Amino acid sequence: MSTLLATRMRGLRASEIREILKLTRRPEVISFAGGLPASELFPVERMMTISSEVLAREGRQVLQYSPTEGDASLREAIAARMARRFGVHLGPDEILVTSGSQQGLDLTGKLLLDEGDAVLCESPTYLGAIQAFEAYRPRFRDVPTDDEGMVLSALERRLSDQPAAKLVYVVPDFQNPSGRCWSLERRVALLRLAGRFGVTVVEDCPYGELRFRGPELPALKSLDREGLVVYLGTFSKVLCPGLRVGWLAASRALLEKYVLAKQGADLHTSSLTQRLIAAYLQRFDLDEDIRRIREVYRQRCDVMLRTMDEEFPPGIRYTRPDGGLFLWVELPETLNARDLLVKCLARDVAFVPGGSFFPNGGHENTLRLNFSAMPPERIREGVRRLSEVLRETLGRPAGRPLREALAPTA
C-alpha cells in the first residue's frame, strides 16, 4: 500500500482531532474538542423558505452545471459585503467562490507551493492549513507568536532566511486554536514586511465577524496596497457550514489561476448551495443573525472562563478571547495533554491536545477548548470535570490561575 502512494502522501496519518471526535460521539461526553458552530442558531425555517423559492424560480439552473468562478450574484453580494463590513473594495472578478475555505487553503497550496518552499505560520497555527499545505510538501517555519500576533523581530528574521519564504499564513482574528487577535500595529507591520520581502500573505478569516468584545480591527486585505494578500472567507461560522460555501479574494491575475486550479479540483461549488446563500443575503439581514451569534458565544466564553478561573488549579495559563470559538490552555511543562485527554475521556470530557497545531511538533503541554457548541450548564460541568482531573494530576487544590498574558510560543 504505502509504495503505491505518491511520496507526498506516505506520511499521511489520520488527524488527531478526527480520531478524538470519533471517541466523543457518545452523547454523554461533554466535548470541547470540536469546532462546531451552535446549530440551534441555524436559520432552518428561513432555509426552507428560500430553498422552495430558489427551486421554484430557477430549478433547472440550480440543478445544472455552473461557472467555476461561482454564481455571479453571489460574487457581487460578497464583494458588496466585504466593502461594507471590512472596508475591502474589490470587484466580483477578484472573488472566487470555494467549497468552504478549506478548499481555499488547498488551492493555495496547489497554486503556490513547490516542494521545500518555506511557509511561515503562527505558533500555534490552524491544523486544517497544515493538512492542506502538507500535501504540497513545504517546510513550515513557525514564527513565535504572542497575544498581539507574530513577534515582529522573529518574523523579520524568518523572512530574511534563505530560501525565501513563499507565503505567510495567518489567522489574524480569534485564531483557531488560540483565540488570539492581532493588534492593529502588528497588522500594519506584517504588511510592511510582506511588501519589503515581496511575500504573499494568506489571511484566513473565518471568525473575523465573531467579535463579542472590544473595537473591530481592519482586515489585512483592507490594508493591502500591493495586492499581496489572499483573503479566505466563509459562511460556515456566520450562517452555517453544511452548505460548504466560502470564498477567496485575490488580485485579478492570481485569481484567474485559482479559477483554473479549482476547475481541475471540483469544476465548481454546488450551484444550489451558492444560490441559497445568495438568496439568503438578499432576503435576510445576516448582520442581525451575527449579532445574535456573538451574544451567545460571548456568554459561553464567559461561562467557560469564569469556571476556569474558579476551578482550575494554579499554574495554568489560558487566553481570554474577545471573539471566535476557541480558547487556548498552557499546562505546566511537566504535563502532557495527550495523557490528560485519556484521563478526561474516562470522565466523559474531551478537548484537543495542542501538539497537533504545531507543524514541527512539541508543545505537548497545550490544549484547545471550544466554547461555541454547547449550552452554559454543559460548559460549566465539563470545565469542572476537566478541573478535577487537572487538580488530581497536579496534586494541587483549586486556586486563582496565573493571569498574565501568555508568553510567546514557538
Positions in 119-138 near a copy of itself (CB under 8 A): 128, 131-132, 134-136
Look up residue 55 and give its amino acid: L
Q: Which three cell numbers stand for residue 333?
A: 511543562
Q: Is residue 75 within 8 Å of residue 66, measured between CB atoms?
A: no
* 164 makes contact with a copy of itself (CB under 8 A): no
* 74 makes contact with a copy of itself (CB under 8 A): no
* 303 makes contact with a copy of itself (CB under 8 A): no
Instruction: Give the CA distances from residue 25 to residues 34, 130, 375, in Å, rounded to whole numbers and listed in that order.
Output: 11, 25, 17
Q: Quote the least distance from Cβ 81 to a copy of itself, whole Å.
A: 20
Q: Is residue 397 within 8 Å of residue 364, measured between CB atoms?
A: no
Instruction: Give the CA distances from residue 160 to residues 137, 151, 153, 201, in Å, rounded to whole numbers and listed in that order.
Output: 21, 14, 11, 16
191-230 mask for a copy of itself (x: CB under 8 A)?
A: ---------x------------------------------
Segment interacting with a copy of itself, rule: CB under 8 A, options 2-10, 332-340, 364-372, 398-406: 2-10
Select 63 or 80, whichever has its Cβ closest to a copy of itself.
63
Q: Quote the least distance from Cβ 128 to a copy of itself, whole Å.
A: 7
- Name the strand (E) or helix (H) holding 235: none
Strand order in the sheet with 326-330: 317-318, 326-330, 366-370, 352-353
Measure the N-to-C terminal CA separation of the chain; round to a whole number of Å: 35
Phi, psi of 389 (to 5 degrees): -60, -40
Positions in 236-295 near a copy of itself (CB under 8 A): 236, 240-244, 253-254, 256-257, 260-261, 263-273
Q: Quote the least distance from Cβ 56 to a copy of itself, whole Å.
A: 6
Q: Which three cell numbers stand for residue 45?
A: 425555517
Positions in 82-101 near a copy of itself (CB under 8 A): 99-100
Give the residue among 182, 192, 191 at the shortest CA–CA distance from 324. 182
* 175 makes contact with a copy of itself (CB under 8 A): no
Instruction: For the beta carbon of residue 166, count every other beta carbon within 10 angstroms.
Output: 18
Segment interacting with a copy of itself, rule: CB under 8 A, options 111-119, 278-286, 337-345, 385-393: 111-119
Q: How many residues touch a copy of itself (CB under 8 A)?
A: 77
Select 210 or 410, whichever has its Cβ closest to a copy of itself.
210
Q: Quote the least distance from Cβ 7 to a copy of itself, whole Å.
A: 5
